[in-house]
Structure 1
Amino acid sequence: MQQVEPDEQGVASIRYLADEITVALVGQPNVGKSVIMNLLTGVGVMVSNYPGTTVEVTEGYFKSPAGNIRIIDTPGIYSLHSDTDEQKVTQRILLEEDIDLIVNVLDARNLSRNLYLTLQLLELDIPMIVILNQMDMAEELGMEIDIDLLSDILGVPVIPMVASKGLGISELEEMLSSVAALTVERKYSDTSASILPHAPKEEILTFSQPVEEVLSILQERIEETIPEEEGKHRLHPPRALAIHLMEHDTLDEDIFHTYPELAEVVENFQEDLANGLTPCENCFRGCAFCPARLESHPPLATCIERTEKARQIALKVVTYKEVEGTSRRARIEKFLDTPSTGIPALLVIMIASFKIIFVVLDFAEAFIPWALGPLIDVIISFANTLPEGSLPQILISAIPEGILLPFEVVMPTMISIYLIMAILEDSGLMPRIAVMMDRIMSILKLPGQAIIPIVLGFGCRAPGVLATRILPDRSSRLVVTFLLAIPIPCAATLGIVTGVANSFGANLAIIYGSVAVVFLLLARILARYLKPDYDLIIEIPPLQIPSLNGVGMKVWVRFEAFFKQVLPVLVLTSIGVKVLLDSGVLGGLSKLDPFTKGLFGISGQALVAVAVTVIQRYAAPMVLLNLPLTAREATIATTMIALSMPCLPVSFLVLKEFGWKTLLSIFSLAILISMTAGITLNLLLPV
């Protein structure tokens, strides 16, 4: 893209815009990619599912002097082997999104482990910058890393960084701007100048002789089968394709779809192996073409050799000096990671977090009506000028309540939960809470990390369902998904349930006690039936003080969806329910009162609120707020709502993640549990 602009002398000159430059942030989990992403792009990020998956990918733009640079923050992965959905998405982004530059973020404290992924990325032959993040923590351990030597070995620029403090980000910004200018110049001119140095030492990307012999044959056949003039080698170098096929990656089918010509290569190669025409010593377990039995093969030779090369590089560039004493961070980590002291401390943190939510809610209940009071008075005054009972009068009279309830109850609850979640995540406390909860969760036959999607569910159950992907097996995911869909209330529901209790004097202890009992019983029953794997496997990141910018960005990204999607629905639903009640449309449901009061102890109109949960659970209590209920009726109806069907967003995700049979099972079980709870409370509660 070109833009013509006059220079200082008024002569038109051409400025190249870098809108087409795409950068991929790639790295292992907990290396600080999201912090770097926030520093580069600011608040203008977009979070969406990668096409055809439920894996979230964050995109934003860095404004350089050469123009905007598109930055994709890929999911954290340990390698490019497609064992998980996150790894598949990252690999597809690197091979299908026309990436101009890779920014590989490493944890300086765990250099050897992180370099395994770096070596895989170098094999793709895409220009790359390596970021050594968390250098301050490495120095606390006495590590001294020779940045120049590491850059020389890898053949790419290496930038030391402490992203949480903003150190090193300016060097990255300058390099990105230079890359943007060079890339655009190369795209729109005849120059073939290299964008960045990309000359890794040959030995770090070279395997042993038996592996190289097979790779060379594969590479030669790929080059013959897929001519370079077709343009496919830009994103898929022949050698990278050969390694990919040798390691028998689960994305082979996608590669074959992109390159149908490879089917013939596979067939011919397999025939040559079987006939002994191609050198192979049955040592390539992942080789897709090897006719030998899979069970007879040792571990992947390429993976073993790559791991050893990463270790050798780390040994060359890292030296250790003696450290006097123990850092404050290490002392705090030891305190929290020791069960006898850490469990009580983390319990206090969790209790304090929930206490903060209720304090914020109490403040909002006093502040919001005062702040919106003048606007509400104007609306009410205008409504009073309209004919009594007319449709305009009914609509406008419903607006004040439709505005107050979401802003007074729901929004403060969600803000506080999102804020607490961001602080716990960025500080490194969330995984420690998972470890602390492991013994408790094991009682429910669930792994400790199940606490993460469960806690997320208290903010919004939809991301909680997505977060179940961190669990070790499908059975664990199903158990937690059932719990998220039925007994776990989201922040919006918690807020409105509290509002119902305050309005009618409903017994919150009975409501939440019923939810807790159902949660425990349902978890135990499902675990016994589905038999999930509840061994805990989780990485514990270092403790750090969350950056204000990072926490603010996370809260904003999550809360932006609330403003765009949830808040309008809340306001419109509240207004709609009020209109229905004032217009008398729901009055006809009073004919059901003899049946509903005899069975559940609530009116027919209150039972409608239970059915509304299928649209949005937080919308259901709004019906109750507009009905004349006793404390007993409000307690029963609210309990039935809290244990009723999942809302539309959760239903959609369950359908996408697990299929219609699982969704149908959840709906059937939810209806059964909700009705059972209503009947039980009607029998037990005094009239």
Structure 2
Amino acid sequence: MAAKNLLVALAGQPNCGKSTVFNMLTGARQHVANYPGVTVEKKSGSFKMGTTRVELVDLPGTYSLTSYSLEERVSRDFLLGDNPGVVIDVADASNLKRNLYLTLQLLEMEVPTLLNLNMMDVAERRNQTIDIAGLEKILGIPVVPTTAKKGEGREALQVAVEKARENPSDGFFKIDYKGLEEHISELETLLVEDPVLSVQYPVRWFAIKLLEDDAEAIQLLRRTHPDAEQVLIRTAQCRERFEKVSGNSAERHIAFTRHGMCANIAKKVVVLPQNPKRSLSDRADRYICNRILGPIILMCILMVLYEVSIVFGGWLAQKVWPLWGGLENFAASVLPAPGFMVDPLLRALAQWVVKSTTAILNYLPIFFLLFSLIAALEDSGYMPRMAFILDRLFRRFGLHGQSTLPMILGGVYVGGCAIPGVMATKAIPDERARLATILIVPMMNCLAKVPLYLILIGAYFADVGGLAMFFIATVTLFMALPVAKLLSLTVLKKRESAPFIMEMPPYHVPTLQGVLRRSLERIWMFMKKIVTVVSAVAVVVFVLINFPGLSAERQAHYEEVRDSAIQAFVKQADKTEYKDVITTDDVLPIILFGEALKHSKIGVTDKEQSAAINAEFEAKNPVYYAVVKRKGKDGKKLNKALKKVVRARKSVRREIRAERFESSFLGTMGRALEPVTQFAGFNWRINIALLSAFAAKENSAATLGSIYGIDGSGQSVQETMKAGEVGFTSLHALALMLFMALYPPCVPTSIMVKHQSNSTGWMLFSIGYQTLLGLFVASLVFTGGSLLGLSGFQAMWAFYGLCVATTLGMALIPTREEKETEIITPTSVKEHCS
């Protein structure tokens, strides 16, 4: 018999154990991607039922199927457009009344549904009894109890899927909306006249959606119905007549009728204990969600998360670095040998790409710990509490309670990373708040900015270094919050702001398997989306900093220096027993031989092992070994001469890099920007350092070192910069620090902004607005401070006061959401209607 395919959708509200059910059914046969055209995650998997191969699609967790949020629209579009053979509605058995709200909407959509009562163990622990047969009779669909965390009910759920496919329900549960029914019927009559619409979509459901003033339904009507405007006029009349008679809006009446129906059904089939005790979750929330203790507990948890993921993860990354270093060494070993002055193009380009990639891979330990902790917080039920505690504050700035985690990861104080910060915005359900968070996370203090801060503070604020570090570590938040509010009131004003639904689910102990699975899934998505693109961008950056290259005159000059150093060494060799043995062609190979010997002994402490390595290299080339290891009288003599050649080579390579960098496309851009950046106190050398930081923030400090000739001679970067930049004051340094704080996202972060916003336009906007904002702030501080005669330290705190005052002022500007009524819906769900 030929194998059959069956498409099954897995729907459910957040915190119902839907992901656990998905894992129970599919095991390791899973695939994670995004729905086409949106940033919502799409998880699919498969399992076998006899000869039938079932493709299971895990829909985003959503409380309802309206069109307020992206998740709701994605779920609804999939159910209506992809026509799954069966929909498994996963419900929290311990909170049936709330979960039935989604079930009733699925039945109204007339999709073939079976109800999965998951978390039966929690219901039993609370002494709740559910009449499964009675619930099946009322809803007219199969009801299957499971405890997915323990793997209980898997076979029964598969059998129910098979039965639902073979024997679909003839009728669907119908809610009586009482006074609204006549208006629903009136619109049904009009909609039936459109053959396309009436065939593709349930007519009663569509009529209800129009009465709810559903934006997506209205757009769909305009695309398909030949007389759409007349239908919309009639809909408006129906809504107006109903509101006049009932004194209530149609959408509110529909919502409360559904809630009432859920309560009636739950009352009939759920037997609650007569004297219920307060659950552990309720008792814990007295402290965790307390107005005073809540924020303290939250900060402690975030501090632990930060310390484990960023601090311990950074230490772990250092321990794992030899793995990536080994990858770089392997690439170096198979590539063409390095040259005396410059490396062959293939070697230079390949090493640049490999090092750019390993720089990102080095973050993997941090991300793994980070994603694991986030998964544990999600599974434990704490994430909604975190959003609840901070939502009222963040809403004043156009953000969301769940903006907290991305900002912490980005580096609210010092030491985060914008890449995971932007990635974490995926959990924010409000599109406007999510975009606002994405656009301010790069303004946080990522770890890569710190080297430049330390250089400038050490050079120009050494006597007040602690205060200067406190300033730069905290002022970014007072700049980001007003910017978020401004963005929400302007460019994001028309972006959709979903009703804010907040549920306090019971606390759970996270499972190790679930945490590991989700963290590994996110790591894999990160690698696919970032590493491949970073490799491509690295090629572009390589070209910008290396071409057009040196002029023929300068090339000849450096060749002359090279030849002079080599000839001097060969003359010394001719005075030893190695005359005619060591020629000019041997000089570079001897240098590389010494570097290879030194590299092979890194980490070797055992004398016998070291001796074995020496013997191996001596067997390869006794002459080279004698020179490198100072063997014999002539070997010592030539080793001294060799060190002069090595120093000359390092000097030539460094000078060529600096000169090539200065004359490169990037260097030319630095000089071209001087007329603009002079108001911020930046010259072309500073401009080059800032331009190079776009590839990675760490490049700013490294580039300054290259420009000012850092060569390991004992001078610090601070000393050489102060010596190389005559007239550069603490006010210049402050302006540069603030520009770096507001610096546009680096290439990997920009790519992540594109993925999370699903828009190249928003990526370009994030780069453009932060560049202009940074330049404005730096110019304001430098030019304003110069006109007022302020020192860098005085200007620092004057600007700090201005930022704090601006933040307080922006918080007082009301948004539309803050003016609306707050509604408390049943069973601890809090909804802010927009």
Pick closer, same or farther for the CA change 1:525–1:656 going to 2, 3 Å. Answer: closer
Deviations 1:179-238 (A, max 9, x none): 5xx85xxxxxxxxxx5344555xxx51526654444445445544542xxx7x6665233
- Determine if contact 2:119/2:146 at 8 Å carries over to the other structure: yes
Deviations 1:627-665 (A, max 9, x none): 656544699867644421235336643967979888854
The answer to whether the aligner puts 1:346 opposite 2:298 as a matched pair is yes
Aligned-CA RMSD value: 4.6
What's the counterpart of residue 394 of structure 1? 348
> Of the candidates 10, 15, 18, which is equivalent to residue 2 of structure 2?
15
2:502 partner SS: coil
The answer to whether the aligner puts 1:646 opposite 2:745 as a matched pair is yes
1:361 partner SS: helix
Query: C-alpha displacement at 1:455, in angstroms?
Result: 4.2
Query: C-alpha displacement at 1:326, in angstroms?
Result: 6.0
Aligned mates of 1:310, 1:261 — CA distance in 2: 37
- Determine if contact 2:175/2:261 at 8 Å carries over to the other structure: no
Pick closer, same or farther for the CA change 1:655–1:431 going to 2, 3 Å. Answer: same
> Of the candidates 457, 470, 477, which is equivalent to residue 430 of structure 2?
470
Moved more, 559-568 or 120-129: 559-568
What's the counterpart of residue 281 of structure 1? none
Query: C-alpha displacement at 1:96, in angstroms?
Result: 1.6
> Of the candidates 63, 67, 84, which is equivalent to residue 82 of structure 1?
67
Deviations 1:536-556 (A, max 9, x none): 863222211122232223222
Q: Which residues of structure 1 form unaligned runs of 5+?
A: 1-13, 184-193, 271-286
Deviations 1:106-159 (A, max 9, x none): 222332222222122112222111122233333333321112211121111112
Aligned mates of 1:418, 1:393 — CA distance in 2: 35
1:435 partner SS: helix
Pick closer, same or farther for the CA change 1:381–1:56 going to 2, 3 Å. Answer: closer
What's the counterpart of residue 167 of structure 1? 152
What's the counterpart of residue 116 of structure 1? 101
Aligned mates of 2:383, 2:774 — CA distance in 1: 30
Query: C-alpha displacement at 1:435, in angstroms?
Result: 3.3
The answer to whether the aligner puts 1:147 opposite 2:136 as a matched pair is no
Pick closer, same or farther for the CA change 1:404–1:563 going to 2, 3 Å. Answer: closer
What's the counterpart of residue 684 of structure 1? 792
Aligned mates of 2:364, 2:348 — CA distance in 1: 25
Number of residue pairs aligned between Structure 1 and Structure 2: 623
Pick closer, same or farther for the CA change 1:398–1:482 going to 2, 3 Å. Answer: closer
The answer to whether the aligner puts 1:253 opposite 2:209 as a matched pair is no
1:77 partner SS: coil
Query: C-alpha displacement at 1:50, in angstroms?
Result: 4.5
1:29-40 aligned within 5 A: 29-40=14-25
- Determine if contact 2:541/2:695 at 8 Å carries over to the other structure: no
Structure 1 letter corresponding to 2:51:
A
Pick closer, same or farther for the CA change 1:463–1:49 going to 2, 3 Å. Answer: farther
- Determine if contact 1:500/1:624 at 8 Å carries over to the other structure: no
Moved more, 560-569 or 211-220: 211-220
Aligned mates of 1:89, 1:651 — CA distance in 2: 21
- Determine if contact 2:188/2:203 at 8 Å carries over to the other structure: yes
The answer to whether the aligner puts 1:586 opposite 2:665 as a matched pair is no
1:616-627 aligned within 5 A: none
Aligned mates of 1:657, 1:338 — CA distance in 2: 41
Query: C-alpha displacement at 1:365, in angstroms?
Result: 1.0
- Determine if contact 1:27/1:104 at 8 Å carries over to the other structure: yes
- Determine if contact 2:745/2:767 at 8 Å carries over to the other structure: no
The answer to whether the aligner puts 1:205 opposite 2:162 as a matched pair is no
Structure 2 letter corresponding to 1:44:
Q
Q: Which residues of structure 2 form unaligned runs of 5+?
A: 411-417, 460-464, 547-652, 711-715, 723-732, 795-834
Structure 1 letter corresponding to 2:33:
V
Aligned mates of 1:443, 1:123 — CA distance in 2: 37
1:79 partner SS: coil
> Of the candidates 426, 429, 444, which is equivalent to residue 488 of structure 1?
444
Pick closer, same or farther for the CA change 1:244–1:152 going to 2, 3 Å. Answer: same
Structure 2 letter corresponding to 1:48:
N
> Of the candidates 13, 31, 45, which is equivalent to residue 31 of structure 2?
45
Deviations 1:555-607 (A, max 9, x none): 22322232123224445666876784677331327796997999878874553
Pick closer, same or farther for the CA change 1:563–1:138 going to 2, 3 Å. Answer: same
Deviations 1:477-506 (A, max 9, x none): 675454224x125xxx53x44677899997
> Of the candidates 691, 701, 708, which is equivalent to residue 611 of structure 1?
691
What's the counterpart of residue 561 of structure 1? 525
The answer to whether the aligner puts 1:460 opposite 2:420 as a matched pair is yes
Query: C-alpha displacement at 1:30, in angstroms?
Result: 2.5
- Determine if contact 1:613/1:646 at 8 Å carries over to the other structure: no
Query: C-alpha displacement at 1:432, in angstroms?
Result: 2.0
What's the counterpart of residue 110 of structure 2? 125
- Determine if contact 2:222/2:229 at 8 Å carries over to the other structure: no
The answer to whether the aligner puts 1:290 opposite 2:238 as a matched pair is yes
1:661-676 aligned within 5 A: 665-673=769-777
Moved more, 627-636 or 583-592: 627-636
Structure 2 letter corresponding to 1:550:
G
What's the counterpart of residue 435 of structure 1? 388
Aligned mates of 1:28, 1:213 — CA distance in 2: 31
Moved more, 445-454 or 104-113: 445-454
Moved more, 30-39 or 293-302: 293-302
1:205 partner SS: coil
What's the counterpart of residue 195 of structure 1? 167
Pick closer, same or farther for the CA change 1:454–1:522 going to 2, 3 Å. Answer: closer
What's the counterpart of residue 608 of structure 2? none
> Of the candidates 254, 263, 267, which is equivalent to residue 315 of structure 1?
267
1:367-386 aligned within 5 A: 367-369=320-322, 371-372=323-324, 374-381=326-333, 385-386=337-338
Query: C-alpha displacement at 1:434, in angstroms?
Result: 2.7
> Of the candidates 181, 205, 208, which is equivalent to residue 243 of structure 1?
208
2:207 partner SS: helix
Pick closer, same or farther for the CA change 1:16–1:548 going to 2, 3 Å. Answer: same
- Determine if contact 1:17/1:67 at 8 Å carries over to the other structure: yes
What's the counterpart of residue 519 of structure 1? 477
1:207 partner SS: coil
Query: C-alpha displacement at 1:350, in angstroms?
Result: 1.4
- Determine if contact 1:645/1:667 at 8 Å carries over to the other structure: yes
1:538 partner SS: strand
Query: C-alpha displacement at 1:447, in angstroms?
Result: 5.4
TM-score, normalised by the number of residues in structure 1 = 0.75
1:593-608 aligned within 5 A: 604=684, 607-608=687-688
The answer to whether the aligner puts 1:541 opposite 2:541 as a matched pair is no
Query: C-alpha displacement at 1:407, in angstroms?
Result: 3.4
Deviations 1:370-421 (A, max 9, x none): x35555444445557454323234345546644553333x333322222222
Deviations 1:5-41 (A, max 9, x none): xxxxxxxxx31320xx322222223323233333334
- Determine if contact 1:515/1:643 at 8 Å carries over to the other structure: no
Structure 1 letter corresponding to 2:263:
R
Deviations 1:339-368 (A, max 9, x none): 555444332221111111211211221332
The answer to whether the aligner puts 1:419 opposite 2:365 as a matched pair is no
Pick closer, same or farther for the CA change 1:89–1:34 going to 2, 3 Å. Answer: same
Pick closer, same or farther for the CA change 1:484–1:254 going to 2, 3 Å. Answer: same
Structure 1 letter corresponding to 2:238:
C
Aligned mates of 2:474, 2:458 — CA distance in 1: 17
Percent identity, please: 25
1:15 partner SS: coil
The answer to whether the aligner puts 1:58 opposite 2:43 as a matched pair is yes
Aligned mates of 1:59, 1:403 — CA distance in 2: 29
- Determine if contact 1:577/1:623 at 8 Å carries over to the other structure: no
1:61 partner SS: strand
Aligned mates of 1:39, 1:677 — CA distance in 2: 58
Structure 2 letter corresponding to 1:22:
L
Aligned mates of 2:125, 2:458 — CA distance in 1: 54
TM-score, normalised by the number of residues in structure 2 = 0.63
Structure 1 letter corresponding to 2:314:
L
